[in-house]
Amino acid sequence: MRITIFLLSLLSLTVVQVVEALDSPTSSTLTSPSSKPNVSKLGKAFDAVEDGVEDIIEYYSAFAGKIFPILSKLSGLLSPTQLQIVFSEIQRIQEPGDWIFIIFLGWTTLPIVRNSYQILGRKSSDGSLKKSFQSTFIYHIVNHLSQAGKIAALVYGIDCISIALRVLGFKDVTQYSPMVAKAIYCVWMFTRINEIKKFFVFKLFGVESTKETSDLRKRASHARAIIVDRLFGIICLAGCFFALVDILEVKSGVTLKSIFTVGGAGTVVISLALKDIATEIVSGMALQVSDKVYEDEKVIFANGIKGTIEKIGLFETTIRDSSELLTAIPNKNLAHQSITNISRNKFSQVKQTVNFDYEDLDKLPALINQIKNEIKENCPAVVTDGSKPFRVYFNNYDEHFLQVAVDVRLCVTPDSNTYFQTREMILLAIGRAVKKMDMKFAVLDD
């Protein structure tokens, strides 16, 4: 690798210097009388290349002088005799049976229980499981045991490294092994507590941890469960932090007093720095608690932003527009805005104006009835029972046309696939009615 870098450096330096020497607008060859300045430049170029080669050789010689003694020392420490001593010490302190048990617990317990559940679990009439394995309580128990085995394997591996370093003479490093083990167990314990907390919080609200998109009431419960889960998550994170600080205090002399001892000016700076963060978090939670909007709902904000709520995070809300572009907006910019929730509207409107020539004035009453009949017969989503407006009427004498307005209500959510399909059916129904009346739409001539 070093030889390759050296050759590439030498080649690139040579090419650059030669090109600069030959780059002259007044001469074309090196043999002409006017090419003497270029010959001088070429000589300087090769001198520069020679100096560069000497610098590279000097650099790699210095590097080799520093690294080779270290490698030589390590090779002496890792001699077959020393390695034999290391392995003997590890075997004396650690039992092979412990490793077998840890590996079995960490990597085989969960697959065995999962496969057993898929075979013996309660199934519905179609042969599928009534309850997924991940949603059962036994899964969480076995998963925790598996995680404990993997963490124990990691700690045992660190102990092996510590034993090897102690045998090789690095005694100062081994004192940190218990601290690292405690820190690993501490972090793992709080992650497991966080998972148990999440399981029971969502069970308390009667929803799954996955998104609820079908039932509005479940979506509300799901959003509230997320808020409670995040609040308890912050508490768990704080507990983990203080536990780690306590471990560092015992082993490294790091005390809480020295960490949090700041002056009055420092307190003000920290408060101002955390103000915006706290505002974003509170605004995001308020947006979910307010029951105004949930994830996967299509909304229009008062500032004109329109799209589907992709995610309501602690600091920002991600909105996906009709062109699939994702826009992240700070929560504080949305918390106090009026919101039109399109997804919660059960009814929508289709309004269309069609133009006819003045010579068709006498045909308009019959055309209006024909349009109504076509819509009623071919568009079942249109509300025609009188509870919502169902209007087809002669609307206006335009300068060039007679205008007929169609204004109906649909029992579908606005801006949905069903809405656009029904709108298309209404427009086609209008066209069929015009064709049956032997009429044509009026078009303004150029």
* CATH number where 285 lies: 2.30.30.60
Do 428 and 370 share a structural domain?
yes
Residue 284 placed within a domain: yes
Distance CA 195, CA 174 (A): 33
Domain boundary at 321, 343, 365, which?
343
Neighbours of 258 (CB within 10 A): 9
Do 337 and 354 share a structural domain?
no
Residue 372 placed within a domain: yes
Domain boundary at 343, 368, 399, which?
343
Do 300 and 284 share a structural domain?
yes
Residue 312 placed within a domain: yes
- Concatenating the DSSP letter of every residue in 332-380 gives GGTTTS-EEEGGG---EEEEEEEEE-GGGGGGHHHHHHHHHHHHHHH-T
Q: Which of 117, 193, 334, 196 is nearest to 209 (CA)?
A: 196
Beta carbons of 187 and 240 less than 8 angstroms apart: yes
Residue 357 placed within a domain: yes
Neighbours of 203 (CB within 10 A): 14
Residue 443 placed within a domain: no
Question: What total of structural domains would you count in the chain?
Answer: 3
Beta carbons of 343 and 349 less than 8 angstroms apart: no
Do 331 and 280 share a structural domain?
yes
Residue 270 placed within a domain: no
Do 428 and 359 share a structural domain?
yes
Domain boundary at 316, 343, 370, which?
343
Distance CA 155, CA 182 (A): 9
Residue segments in the chain with a per-residue pLDDT below the cut of 70: 1-79, 171-174, 209-220, 248-276, 288-289, 446
Do 381 and 335 share a structural domain?
no
Q: Report the amino acid identity of residue 185.
A: Y
Distance CA 438, CA 315 (A): 61
Do 299 and 366 share a structural domain?
no
Residues facing 349 on adjacent strands: 409
Residue 387 placed within a domain: yes
Distance CA 333, CA 287 (A): 11
Do 394 and 315 share a structural domain?
no
Find where tokens 């997320």 sit. 226
pLDDT for 35 equals 46
Beta carbons of 341 and 397 less than 8 angstroms apart: no
Do 397 and 372 share a structural domain?
yes
Do 350 and 428 share a structural domain?
yes
pLDDT for 43 equals 58
Do 376 and 299 share a structural domain?
no
CA atoms within 13 A on the CB side of 59: 11
Q: What is the CATH number of the domain that holds 359?
A: 3.30.70.100
CA atoms within 13 A on the CB side of 413: 11
Residue 90 placed within a domain: no
Q: Encoding tokens for residue 428?
A: 């086609």
Domain, as residue range, for 296: 275-343
* Residues 6 or more apart whose Cβ sits within 8 Å of residue 246: none
Do 413 and 400 share a structural domain?
yes
